[in-house]
A and B are shown apart, each in its own frame.
Chain A
Amino acid sequence: MLSTTIYISFIGALFVGLMPSKPSRLARILALMVALGGLGVAVAGFAGGTGQGTVVLTDKAWIPSMGIHYLLVADGISRVLVLLTGIAAVAGVLFSWNVELRTNQFFAFYLALIGGVYGVFLSGDLFLLFVFYEIAIVPKYFLIAIWGSTRREYGAMKLALYSFVGSAMVLIGLLAAYTASGSHSTALADLAHAGLPVSFQMWCFPLVFVGFAILAGMWPFHTWAPTGHVAAPTAASMLLAGVVMKLGAYGCLRVAIGLFPHGLDPWGFSFIGIGSWRDVFAWLAVIGIVYGALVALAQSDFKFVIGYSSVSHMGFVLLGLMTLNQIGVDGAVLQMFSHGIIAGLLFGIVGRVVYDRTHTRQFAELEKMHLSRRLPFAAWAFVIAGVASMGLPGFSGFVAELQVLVGSWRANPIWTVASGIGIIVGVAYTWRALQKAFFSDTLPTAHTLEAEQAHPFAPICWSEMAGVSLLVACALVVGLYPRILLDQIEPAVKALLAGGAQ
């Protein structure tokens, strides 16, 4: 039944795209209904999946001569990420309620992207997974290039090329694995049990891992992320940070680690303490955490702060994956969910609530606008989002990062210590952004007060309220009662890690 999410989104995209562009309200409402439908199915599937383990949703011979199946499978990890996609999709539609330019096309591309994302999370066949993964690239390009802001064509093209190069690496790995396993099947389960030789896994693992990790924002392949996020329209940057980066991390976990577990084995020699691909990628993740946080501290554009914070937070996901122990990988999956919600919230507030009223994202200009007084809703929403992003207890980020850190302590304590620096800097950049954008202490003069009263900001509309409330509620619920997700994640991760140990 979860597979309905894919079909709803693609059919919705088709219908929305065929609608007239005026009045734009029609396309908007239809898009919201489609997103809500997807979310409804995702929630039902998530609730119904408790204690079920891996479920085959659809299995049809697609290309019989090559053994490729249209195989949709859901396990705990998929269900959690499908749920995240549903939430992010609804929030994204709510935050793009004011898109007036070519509205029907906007939502058509948007829903096509969502459909591709659902498809990746539910694919049980590597070929199918790759197809959905690539389907998601093209709408991203057009969403950013047409509806974006700051250097949008540059950001869009950079994102498209980075994604396509990453997927080309994955395609090479896919072809090689398919041939090496005897050209019988591309099902993930079959490839995992094909007994691929260790020497093969040793070069195929880094290829596929990096191919996916480019989209997960792994340092030093992260540079598409800040420019892409900043250039993207609000809904697209919410989706980029919220779910598209998770596609990369999910691919790393499901494909790279799931199919080539021996690629993580020690090389047999070590160089400055690095003795396996696992060490390499863990260190890259740690560098990403610290580097992203430090660069975020130095930004003058509000959205760039969030963009670099995404790089930092995604570092935790990759670090969690590289711990290869139960708690660390649990944490990584939970962090995917948590970051999806929180980054969506941050981008929503900055890109929609603030930017669409102030028309600037520069701290220097925002400082003079007294936003805490003039936009109290935005200010307090950002306080909550910032607190969640810093990883304070009570929000989802805390549970997730704690698990990752515990896991990495067990694997290699130095990783934990080093990434601890990233957390501290994380508090600093969030605080700095909060202070500069909302709570600056420049006093208004009588003249500016008059001007502000003459041109008040547009009132906060219902769609923004609904979007913020939805995301805050999710972050809170998971933060207060993480078992709701962990009960599904844990058995799935256990099965995945056990599969790798064979």
Chain B
Amino acid sequence: MNYGALFHATLPETVLEIAALLVIVVDLGLLRKAAAQTRIAVAALVGIAGCGMALWAVSVAGPYSYGNELLLAANGSAIVAQIAILILTALTLLLLIDTTFTRHAGEYASVVLMAAAGGLIISAAQDLLVIFTGLELLSLGLYILTAFAKQSGKSAESAIKYYLFGGMSAAFLLFGFSYLYGLSGSTSLQKIVQESYFASIAGGAPLLILALVMVAVGLGFKVAAVPFHLWAPDTYEGAPAPAAAFIASVSKVASFALLISISTAMLHAFDMANSVQALALNGQPSKAFGVAAPWSLILTILSVASMVLGNLAALAQTSVRRLLAYSAIAHAGYILLGLAFFSTTNLSSQAILYYIVTYGLTTIGAFGAVGVVERATGSDKLDAFLGLQKRNPLLAAILLVLFLSLAGIPPLVGFWAKFNLFAAVLGAGSGKVALILVALAVAFSAVSLYYYLQVLKRVYVLPGTDESPIRAGFVTTAVLVLIAAAVLVLGCFPALLEGWIAGFYPVI
């Protein structure tokens, strides 16, 4: 084993882990007697510095293989997802600065950094064992973060729910992985796809489908796809705002990057030279459809269920956080559609990354804004937003931009993300099925406008009962303004981000 190469490949993760330890040392060692606000600010800043260093490390790190098997990739989707994870993590740490929910800022920042390291690993992972390790590192961090508001009963309750669901889904995932290993005799994604394909031809098809379903359960839980979504509303509601923002953005980016890796492996496995001969022998003209077709079917079912249930359930919510949770489920549904109709070119992968990165950014902003209102009014109910345009006009304008972007109104980035994704689906999936599913997705995004407008209606239209101004901290305001500006600018000039993402992919 080449430890030098391994160290080189995992440099970003290593940097984050060192930063995580450093935060604890600084917080508990040097600043033990300092004021709570100072400790929080320092912890956040050290964490952000760690993210910055890791960003540099991403640019120098490379892929890592053990023997013939690729363990960590350094391809376009991995790098884009890693950079996005680091930036989004830094933003959620910035949101920590003005909060007061915890006295243990050092531990909080440290757990965030370790979870982010888990996210980096699964974005690049190409091997079942690495995937599982990364997922657990990420998930364990998220359980702790959810429970971090120790005075709040809701926080503890939601963390326990999240943990139980998470543990169960991890068991399913591992079970599915064991079947895949049994079918193919390998833990490498590419090999699994090829070998299990031949195994399924030889009569192992039911076992393969069972294994894929198990994997879909595990990953469906991570991205909160229906019917594995039950943790999401409670967790989004109970977790402290910066933690909820982290769960809604960073964890989603990482999980979808992993799904991209799996889908890519499904389609590219058979491009490899050594399988061409085998294909010719078997007389199978189609690409890995023996494996890809059931996988697409599973993803399509999850996608449709998430779109329908997420959007419809969001209509009935009275808590803005729960509303955001159900809207997150709906958005996961759109993205899963992109994964179900995955193209052999890089188009789909780019469109999905574009969607999830901009969605993560917007959600962080939304949770930041909800957090400000919550601290002032003590509630995240819809009625807490009454008359916000008078109490804090800037915050109201930011909410307007972010929620309209989530609803997919141009010229905001959410619209372009949807257009790009749906165009990719239509480009990849020929035939009527893709078109009907896209029509369904577009129709349900029309439904979504209703519940986003329910919030904006309270912000702008209905008269407020309490008109005392709401103050947001300087850092939070700055972060929110930055995010809203990015949503607007990227929406007006979508080619900026799109070109940036495409730049990490090899030119075909």
Q: Which residues of A contact B (CB under 8 A)?
A: 62-66, 105, 127, 130-131, 134-135, 137-138, 141-142, 145-146, 153, 156-157, 160-161, 164-165, 167-168, 171-172, 175-176, 178-179, 183
Choose from B427, B443, B450, B453 the contact partner of A179 (Cβ within 8 Å).
B427
- Identify the closest chain A residue to B434 (Cβ): A179
Interchain CB contact under 8 A, A145 and B457: yes
* B93 on interface, CB distance cutoff 8 Å: no
Q: How many A-B residue pairs have CB under 8 A?
A: 76
Interchain CB contact under 8 A, A172 and B439: yes
Interchain CB contact under 8 A, B423 and A62: no
> What's the nearest-Cβ distance from chain B to residue A301, in Å?
23
A135-B426 contact in complex given A63-B498, A164-B446, C-beta closer than 8 Å: no
Q: Which residues of A contact B242 (CB under 8 A)?
A: none
Among B216-224, B356-364, B404-412, which stretch is in contact with chain A? B404-412
Given contacts A156-B461, A157-B453, 4 further A-B contacts (CB under 8 A): A157-B450, A171-B442, A172-B442, A175-B442
Interchain CB contact under 8 A, A145 and B499: no
- Identify the closest chain A residue to B457 (Cβ): A145
Q: Which residues of A contact B211 (CB under 8 A)?
A: none
Number of interface residues of B (CB under 8 A): 30
Alpha-carbon distance between A160 and B447 when the two chains are bound, in angstroms: 11
> What's the nearest-Cβ distance from chain B to residue A167, in Å?
8
Task: Tell me the residues in window 404-442 of chain B with beta carbons closer than 8 Å to chain A beta carbons.
Answer: 404, 409-411, 415, 419-420, 422-423, 426-427, 435, 438-439, 442
Q: Which residues of B contact A (CB under 8 A)?
A: 389, 404, 409-411, 415, 419-420, 422-423, 426-427, 435, 438-439, 442-443, 445-446, 449-450, 453, 457, 460-461, 494-495, 498-499, 502
Interface of chain B: mostly helix, strand, loop or mixed = helix
Q: Which residues of A contact B443 (CB under 8 A)?
A: 165, 168
Interchain CB contact under 8 A, B495 and A175: no
Q: Which residues of A contact B427 (CB under 8 A)?
A: 179, 183
Choose from B411, B461, B495 the contact partner of A131 (Cβ within 8 Å).
B411
Choose from B411, B422, B450, B461 the contact partner of A153 (Cβ within 8 Å).
B461
Interchain CB contact under 8 A, A178 and B410: no
Q: Which residues of A contact B389 (CB under 8 A)?
A: 105
> What's the nearest-Cβ distance from chain A to residue B312, in Å?
15
Alpha-carbon distance between A440 and B502 when the two chains are bound, in angstroms: 72
> What's the nearest-Cβ distance from chain A to residue B498, in Å?
6
- Identify the closest chain B residue to A146 (Cβ): B461
Interchain CB contact under 8 A, A164 and B410: no
Q: Which residues of A contact B415 (CB under 8 A)?
A: 131, 134
Alpha-carbon distance between A410 and B494 when the two chains are bound, in angstroms: 48
- Identify the closest chain A residue to B397 (Cβ): A17
Choose from A135, A164, A172 the contact partner of B411 (Cβ within 8 Å).
A135
Interchain CB contact under 8 A, B450 and A161: yes
> What's the nearest-Cβ distance from chain A to residue B154, in Å?
31
Alpha-carbon distance between A179 and B442 when the two chains are bound, in angstroms: 16
> What's the nearest-Cβ distance from chain A to residue B402, in Å?
13
Interchain CB contact under 8 A, A135 and B410: yes
8 pairs across A/B with beta carbons < 8 Å? A62-B495, A65-B499, A127-B419, A137-B409, A145-B460, A161-B446, A175-B422, A175-B426
Alpha-carbon distance between A165 and B411 when the two chains are bound, in angstroms: 18
> What's the nearest-Cβ distance from chain B to residue A259, in Å?
17
Alpha-carbon distance between A314 and B60 when the two chains are bound, in angstroms: 63
A131-B450 contact in complex given A65-B498, A183-B423, C-beta closer than 8 Å: no
Q: Which residues of A contact B495 (CB under 8 A)?
A: 62-65
Q: Which residues of B contact A65 (CB under 8 A)?
A: 495, 498-499, 502
Q: Which residues of B contact A176 (CB under 8 A)?
A: 426, 435
- Identify the closest chain A residue to B502 (Cβ): A65
Among A105, A157, A171, A183, the one with the most B-chain Cβ atoms within 10 Å of its Cβ is A171
Interchain CB contact under 8 A, A165 and B446: yes
Alpha-carbon distance between A164 and B460 when the two chains are bound, in angstroms: 20
Alpha-carbon distance between A25 and B445 when the two chains are bound, in angstroms: 40
Q: Which residues of A contact B445 (CB under 8 A)?
A: 168
Interchain CB contact under 8 A, A168 and B450: no
Interchain CB contact under 8 A, A138 and B419: no
A142-B461 contact in complex given A134-B410, A137-B409, C-beta closer than 8 Å: yes
Q: Which residues of A contact B410 (CB under 8 A)?
A: 130-131, 134-135
Among A64, A127, A131, the one with the most B-chain Cβ atoms within 10 Å of its Cβ is A131
> What's the nearest-Cβ distance from chain A to residue B349, in Å?
14
Alpha-carbon distance between A183 and B422 when the two chains are bound, in angstroms: 12
